[in-house]
Amino acid sequence: MANPMKGEVDIEACGERLRLILSFNAIAELEDEAGRTLAEVMTSLKAGSVRTMRLILWAAMRDHRPATTLRQAG
């Protein structure tokens, strides 16, 4: 069960329950992968970038599923 005090959220996707959290490590990995700061990533998200949405989902999955690839996150 997700711990909302830690910012965790459970979602159901493709018949699986996924636990998402944007921890500091997840945000750092997101920035590394994007080559941009979190603020720049969020600007891209506001502009409607699907690649950015996939990247954020990937990063949020990494704490509980570290082997997840970007393709799997999509």
**At residue 48, what is the residue type?**
G
pLDDT digits (tens, 9 = 90+) for 5-62: 888 999 998 888 999 999 999 999 999 999 999 999 999 999 999 999 999 999 999 9
Judge contact between 23 and 12, C-beta under 8 A.
no
Tell me, what's the pLDDT at 47? 95
Query: Is the per-residue pLDDT at 2 higher than 90?
Result: no
Tell me, what's the pLDDT at 14? 80
Tell me, what's the pLDDT at 16? 87
DSSP 66: T
Model pTM score: 0.86
Packing angle between helix 24-34 and helix 50-61, nearest 10 degrees? 140
